[in-house]
Chain A
Amino acid sequence: MRAVTRGVFKELYKHKTLYAMTLPALIFFVIFSYIPMMGVYYAFIDYDFGKGILHSPFVGLKNFQYFVSGGWDAPIVYLTKNTILYNLVFILLGNLMQCIFAIMLTTIVGRLFKRTSQSIMLLPHFVSYVIVGTIAYNIFNSNYGVLNSLLKAMGGSGVSVYMIEWIWPIIITLFFLWKSTGFGMVVYLAAITGFDREVYEAAKIDGCNLFKEIRYITLPMLKPTFIMLVLFSLGGIMRGQFELFYNLIQRNGQLFYATDVLDTYIYRAMTVNFNLGTSTAAGVYQSVFGFVLVITVNRIIRKVSPENALF
């Protein structure tokens, strides 16, 4: 044992400058990631800012009560459903769109057109989600929104979009695609550019046309990239896109049943309702469930293509 410890110190001392270089980052992760991990304990106590963690009473699963009660209408049910469904649609539809537009762009010969359309598609990635919220408001608000002024100009009557629940999953998905397609597309473009040109040349000589080229060369070669990117994202399916949901819906309670996800629920429970117990409990549920998912996904990747496994 002592020999091992001495070995560790010897190594640390030998490369002390290099280890010192990792320190600022490691300290950061200890403070902002590892210490909060222990805070999972908050979910089981009635936390009191004044008394601190050790003197707050232990309450077992009481903090989970509100989160899980209500049968099929319980927050845990619709939040899990919403979080998983939205993210699933985002991941699949997102990657599909990115793929399709990347393929289309690579067939374009005109440089100016190619560059301009790529620039415009990437532009939404650069604006903040607050701006995304502004844009949604500008289009959909019931009094001055572009949509309603168009409807009225055509002789119709106005619609209060912010009152219609079923339309928001569609709007949110569209905004997601608008914001992220240009960015994600770049990865697929890079992949396609990296493909062996000779394969395409040979196919052309053999009389392969553009349809066949896409169908039998580009698509099969993109398949591994597509599968990997989808699998990677599946691990994070329990979180993400907080800013998108929060800025589009804000505190519009009428829409929560259809649009609330774990991230937004946890944020509101803490900052709006000041319900630390419920917020932490929901957070623990999200973390543990998410962790199990990542491990599962990694198992799958290991089976499918071991060299791409995360760990």
Chain B
Amino acid sequence: MNTHRLSASERGLKIFFYIVLSIVSIICALPFILVISGSFSDSAQILKSGYSIVPRGFSLDGYRSIFLFPAQIAKAYGVSLFVTVAGTGIGLMVMTLCGYAISRSELKYRNVVSFMIYFTTLFSGGLVPWYIVVTKLGLKDSIWALIIPAICSSFYILLIRNFMKTIPEALVESARIEGAGEFRTLLQIVVPMSKPILATIALFLALSYWNDWYLASLYVTKADLWPLQYRLYNILNAASKIASVGAENFTGKILPTETQKLANAIVATGPIIFLYPFLQKYFVQGISIGAVKG
């Protein structure tokens, strides 16, 4: 592979790169290690001497407390799962249909439609008018408030369009000659060929739905409808107020316990960490496609 031998200075540079990248990797991983080790720590010891990188003592109390009332966490999991699956499914469908239509050169007004979609990224009415529209639609305190306002992204539609534009016209034409309608052409020819971009967008969508707490914070007051991240947000929020004032004024009022908070954080992120090695590959591929074709 190497056509020439590396000089000493080149080797030095490479070693330097290895060291820098190792340090950066450790810095990137460290926060996760802190949270994980904190979640397995012993509450009493945390109160006495604070968190550290290695767990203080070992205890599963943080986790045990979560599963003491499994209904709560199960509900939040259910909401998050439903929102993620429904949002990703519907969103992908709506955006694929639109992206396909405006990728077709025979559509005279495709650029008008594209511009209508694109313009929404340039100018917006702001938070309050948007909030009022969603409220007026009766979405408040409904699970659909966590799904519908985020179902379409102009950026993704244009990505799909750009990808589908690269599919040879002849293929679509031949399907047409054999008598296939628009829907059949889309489903049997265009969608299978667009799998890379559609898979990537599905991943992006699923990730943003799973990690969303913002829509819940605006539109959902009933605890029954809290997705995982918003539930976690509320657990932490109660505690951080105390922390910002200083615990001296709040001794004995630590609710929920420190380790419980971190255990909750782990439980809310769990599925992503498990799926990460699998998802990562598609993710990287997808961003690369977007970067080259977008």
- Hey, which bits of chain A sit against chain B, CB under 8 A? 11-12, 15, 17-19, 21-22, 24-26, 28-29, 31-40, 42, 101, 104-105, 107-109, 113, 116-124, 126-131, 133-135, 137-139, 141-146, 148-150, 152-153, 160, 162, 178, 182-183, 186-187, 189-191, 193-194, 201, 204-205, 209-211, 242-243, 247, 250-252, 254, 266-267, 270-271, 276, 279-280, 283-284, 286-287, 290-291, 294, 311
Interface size on B, residues (CB 8 A): 111
Could you tell me if B128 and A138 are in contact, using CB atoms closer than 8 angstroms? no
Interchain CB contact under 8 A, B125 and A37: yes
* Contact stretch, chosen from B67-75, B81-89, B149-157, B191-199: B149-157
Partner of A149, one of B3, B52, B115, B240: B52
Say what secondary structure dominates the interface of chain B.
helix
- Distance of A12 Cα from B110 Cα, bound (Å): 11
Q: Assess the A29–B32 pair: CB atoms within 8 A.
A: no
What is the distance, in angstroms, from B212's C-beta to the closest C-beta of chain A?
Answer: 8
Check B35–A135 contact: CB distance below 8 A. yes
Is the beta-carbon distance between A126 and B276 smaller than 8 angstroms? yes
Q: How far is the CB of B113 from chain A (nearest CB, A)?
A: 5
Please list the 4 inter-chain residue pairs (A to B) with the smallest Cβ-Cβ separation, ordered nearest first.
Answer: A39-B129, A283-B126, A149-B50, A36-B125
Beta-carbon contact of A29 and B117 below 8 Å: yes
How far is A164 from B24 in the complex, measured between Cα atoms in Å?
26
Contact of B50 with A144 in the complex, beta carbons under 8 Å: yes
In this complex, the member of B22, B31, B232 whose beta carbon has the largest number of chain A beta carbons within 10 angstroms is B31
Shortest distance in angstroms between B128's beta carbon and chain A's nearest beta carbon?
4
Contact call A11/B10, Cβ cutoff below 8 A: no
Q: Is the Cβ of B125 less than 8 Å from the Cβ of A124?
A: no
| B29 / chain A contacts, CB cutoff of 8 Å | 120, 123
Q: Is the CB of B97 within 8 A of A283?
A: no
> B residues within 8 A CB of A183?
287
Q: Are A38's CB and B125's CB within 8 A?
A: yes
Shortest A229–chain B CB gap in Å is 9
B152 touches A25 (CB 8 A): yes
Whether A134 and B236, one on each chain, are in contact in the complex, defined by CB atoms closer than 8 angstroms, is: yes
Q: What are the residues of chain B within 8 A of A11 when measuring CB–CB?
A: 108-109
- Residue in A closest to B243 when the chains form the complex, CB atoms: A141
Q: Which residue of B lies closest to A186 (CB)?
A: B287
Q: Is the CB of B126 within 8 A of A39?
A: yes
